[in-house]
Amino acid sequence: ILNVEQSPQSLHVQEGDSTNFTCSFPSSNFYALHWYRWETAKSPEALFVMTLNGDEKKKGRISATLNTKEGYSYLYIKGSQPEDSATYLCAFSGNTPLVFGKGTRLSVIA
Amino acid sequence: DAGVIQSPRHEVTEMGQEVTLRCKPISGHDYLFWYRQTMMRGLELLIYFNNNVPIDDSGMPEDRFSAKMPNASFSTLKIQPSEPRDSAVYFCASRGQGGRETQYFGPGTRLLVL
């Protein structure tokens, strides 16, 4: 059974703080690692698809890194804003449908 | 492209009634997925199709649930008869070939069974 772990489960940060969280995934049969942003009452929104070891992707204040050899990815948010409050999901892609982690729930306090 | 389209967006029905959820994937996408979101289980995969063919329905909770994809642009998820424990948000998602393709989610159908 494929296991995708995300930590922490939740965190609260002050507006302006930078933060990061982790996604751990199997290092074998790796195709890609997906990050999603999921706001309450909405649907998951794709942030990044990362495929190569050492990949680093950036979208505004959000960036992500990938280490396929050790099976982890970090998501960073620089200068958190209240609108960044959401659940951030990662998903592992092998030769199967995406396997999702349970997400990290971020709350940014103004 | 309009993205993945789902209808209805909200459905309220009474226990025992038949419920049909609809999905139109993004044009050209080969894979279609049906997910259910609940407080207890989070996001769970119910069934997925490749080129209109069901590949894995092991996530379908029981025989009351069925899904079809008669053509590349339309899929349905049917619950008959519905029960209160089926209340959840049901998402449809689609992507192209290959695990490196982005998977896009529809807006979801919020189902409440009374």
Nearest C-alpha of chain A: how many angstroms from B56?
Answer: 10
Q: Which residues of chain A are within 8 Å of residue B42 when distances are taken between CB atoms?
A: 100, 102-103
* 3-state per-residue secondary structure call for chain A: CCCCEEECCEEEEECCCCEEEEEECCCCCCCEEEEEEECCCCCCEEEEEECCCCCEEEECCEEEEEECCCCEEEEEECCCCHHHCEEEEEEEECCCCCEECCCEEEEEEC
Given a cut of 80, whether residue A2 has pLDDT beyond it is no
CB contact under 8 A, A49 and B102: yes
- Proportion of chain B above pLDDT 90, given as a percent: 87
Strands in A56-59's sheet, in edge-to-edge order, are: A5-7, A19-24, A72-77, A62-67, A56-59
Which residue in A has a C-alpha nearest to residue B4's C-alpha? A43
Q: Which residues of chain A are within 8 Å of residue B100 when distances are taken between CB atoms?
A: 31-32, 49, 51, 93
Question: pLDDT tens digits for A9-47?
Answer: 999 999 999 999 999 999 888 899 999 999 999 999 999
When pLDDT is averaged across residues B52-61 and rounded to a whole number, the result is 94
Q: Give the confidence band of A54 by pLDDT, cuts at 50, 70, 90.
A: very high
**A66, A52 Cβ separation under 8 angstroms:** yes
Q: Indicate the DSSP class of residue B111.
A: E
pLDDT of residue A1: 66
